[in-house]
């Protein structure tokens, strides 16, 4: 069993149950073209300046005590805009987690995603001197064939909670993803992953696009209706090996413009309900037992084990 699979299994198996109520009324992003594909961006991080994994409910993951600085900063995104930066201070070799928790972000634009077929996000790889490689994962509420939210009992509390479907990048020679470098008009096809890591050229800056059929459902979660619903997105996570080689630049990579592309439709605006982002009110009352979700625990892996894993990965990549 590969290292990242072991990590993911251990991570999801050791989940913490926390209460997350239904999110407030969400907004709908305008459809924009990214490399010729209709796209809706859920977040561009512009309203999240200064949020860090140490103190935020929206930016989660590895903490500064582990030698990293995972936070939203200006100057690392598209056209020097905001981005989620995987910053490096004193870390010398371990597998780290940077997470954007959509369900806590009132400014996330998560409506109008019917017809989506691909996850899409922008990567600034300017801090990585040795080839970019990372694993993306996202989670959403699970639904049945009739469109009802799937509920499950929390073994620790006895409360009924929304079941979460976690999706991780497939670990296979036929896993496909695409990249579109800044200034280019052509998407480049990449085939194959190693340890669920996708790989990009050193210094890459541009978009990555991954079709839903190239993700696997994490073994400890379910997907009752066997489809990506995108009715209630919980979070996006990016897993990266942080090393001393990132200290010169102060970061490894930065993530911007997380969204979805596909056959998206225009959404009619109801003029009688024009709640602004800054005046969000809940339209989904909690009924029955407490509604919550299962969140992934911060990943803590020893530097020695991770360095061995990265060495094995590089051997695979260079084979």
> What mean pLDDT is predicted for residues 289-297?
35
Give the residue carrying structure tokens 């800056």: 205
The encoded tokens of residue 29 equal 């992003």
State the chain's mean pLDDT as an integer.
83
In sequence order, the 6+-apart residues with CB closer than 8 A to the CB of 317 are 131, 133, 194, 199
Report the Cα–Cα distance between both ends of the chain, in Å, rounded. 19
Sign of the C-alpha dihedral computed for residues 317, 257, 213 and 151 taken in this order = positive
pLDDT of residue 26: 74
Model confidence pLDDT, tens digit, residues 176-195:
999 999 999 999 999 999 99
> What mean pLDDT is predicted for residues 197-213?
98
Q: Can you spell out the DSSP letters for the chain?
A: --HHHHHHHHHHHTPEEE--PPPPPPPBPPPEEETTEEEEEEE-STT-TT-BTTT-SSEEES-GGGTEEEEEEETSSGGG-EEEEEEESS--SEEEEEEE-GGG-TT---B--TTEEEEEEEEE-TT-SS-EEEEEEEEEE-B-TTSPBPEEE-TTT--EEE-EEEEEE--STT-EEEEEETT--SPEEEE--BTTBEEE-TT-EEEEEEEGGGEEE-TTS--TTSS---SSEEEEEEEEEE-GGGTTTTEEEEEEEEEEEES-------TT----GGG----S---SSPP-EEEPPPP---HHHHHHHHHHHHHHHH-
Rounded CA-CA distance 152/164 in Å is: 9
pLDDT of residue 108: 98
> What mean pLDDT is predicted for residues 226-246?
97
Rounded CA-CA distance 62/266 in Å is: 38
The pLDDT > 70 percentage for the chain reads 76
| β-pairing verdict for 116-124 and 251-262 | antiparallel
> What mean pLDDT is predicted for residues 300-316?
42
Is the whole model's pTM more than 0.85, yes or no? no
Q: Minimum mean pLDDT among 26-30, 97-101, 124-128, 248-252: which range?
A: 26-30
pLDDT over threshold 70, residue 76: yes
pLDDT of residue 274: 40
């Amino acid at each position: 069993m590969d290292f990242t699979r072991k990590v993911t299994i251990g991570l999801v198996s050791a989940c913490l149950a926390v209460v997350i109520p239904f999110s407030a009324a969400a907004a709908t992003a305008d459809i924009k073209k990214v490399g010729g594909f209709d796209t809706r961006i859920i977040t561009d991080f512009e309203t999240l300046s200064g949020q860090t994994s140490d103190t935020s409910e929206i930016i989660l993951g590895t903490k500064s005590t582990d030698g990293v600085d995972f936070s939203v900063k200006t100057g690392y995104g598209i056209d020097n805009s905001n981005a989620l930066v995987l910053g490096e201070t004193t870390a010398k070799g371990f597998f780290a987690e940077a997470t954007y928790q959509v369900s806590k972000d009132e400014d996330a634009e998560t409506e109008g995603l019917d017809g989506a077929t691909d996850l899409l996000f922008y990567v600034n790889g300017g801090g990585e001197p040795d080839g970019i490689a990372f694993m993306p994962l996202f989670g959403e509420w699970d639904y049945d064939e009739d469109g009802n939210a799937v509920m499950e009992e929390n073994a620790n509390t006895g409360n009924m909670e929304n079941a979460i479907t976690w999706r991780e990048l497939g670990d296979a020679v036929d896993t496909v993803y695409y990249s579109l470098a800044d200034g280019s008009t052509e998407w480049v096809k990449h085939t194959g992953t190693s340890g669920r890591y996708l790989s990009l050229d050193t210094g890459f800056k541009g978009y990555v696009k991954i079709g839903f059929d190239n993700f696997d459902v994490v073994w400890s979660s379910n997907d009752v209706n066997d489809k990506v619903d995108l009715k209630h997105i919980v979070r996006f996570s990016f897993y990266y090996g942080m090393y001393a080689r990132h200290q010169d630049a102060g970061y490894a990579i930065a993530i911007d413009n997380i969204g979805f592309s596909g056959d998206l439709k225009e959404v009619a605006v109801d003029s009688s309900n024009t709640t602004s982002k800054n005046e969000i009110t809940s339209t989904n009352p909690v009924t029955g037992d407490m509604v919550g979700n299962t969140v992934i625990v911060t990943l803590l892996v020893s530097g020695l084990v991770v360095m061995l894993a990265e060495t094995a990965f590089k051997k695979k990549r260079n084979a």
